[in-house]
Amino acid sequence: MADVIYKRLYFDWGGRCAYCDVALSRMKTGGKVKASIDHFIPLSKGGQNGRSNRVLACYPCNLAKGDIDPRETNQWPDVERRLAEIAASPLLSHGKLRQLIPELVKQIGIEA
């Protein structure tokens, strides 16, 4: 997973778990709660490995969601809406993300 993809995901989701809203460290490991990348529609169910299917999730939520296909359970309509908004929003450059992420981290009050 390229670093810029993770940074973009982190910024797109406001540094919070899409499912439980916990503030996440900007690093994938370390910090208070481990962050991970969840594929909203699981890759095993034909989900795409693209921005419109990537969700920032804390590790416990990612684990709990597992292989659930949201098209079958309709459990997370808010996440689905947000994903559609993100997919339609402009792609920020790596430089811009590097500039914006420290501000976001400060705002949500989490240590690097």
Shortest distance, position 65 Cβ to Zn ion, whole Å: 9
Taken in order 69, 39, 52, 85, the sign of the CA dihedral is positive
DSSP code, position 110: -
Shortest distance, position 18 Cβ to Zn ion, whole Å: 7
The phi and psi torsions of 23 (rounded to 5 degrees) equal -70, 135
* Residues between 33 and 62 with contacts to Zn ion, criterion CB under 5 A: 58, 61
The phi and psi torsions of 56 (rounded to 5 degrees) equal -80, 125
Provide the token pair at 49: 């490995």
* Binding residue for Zn ion, selected from 10, 11, 19, 40, defined by CB under 5 A: 19
Residue 17 makes contact with Zn ion by CB under 5 A: yes
Residue 10 makes contact with Zn ion by CB under 5 A: no
- Contacts to Zn ion by CB under 5 A: 17, 19-20, 58, 61
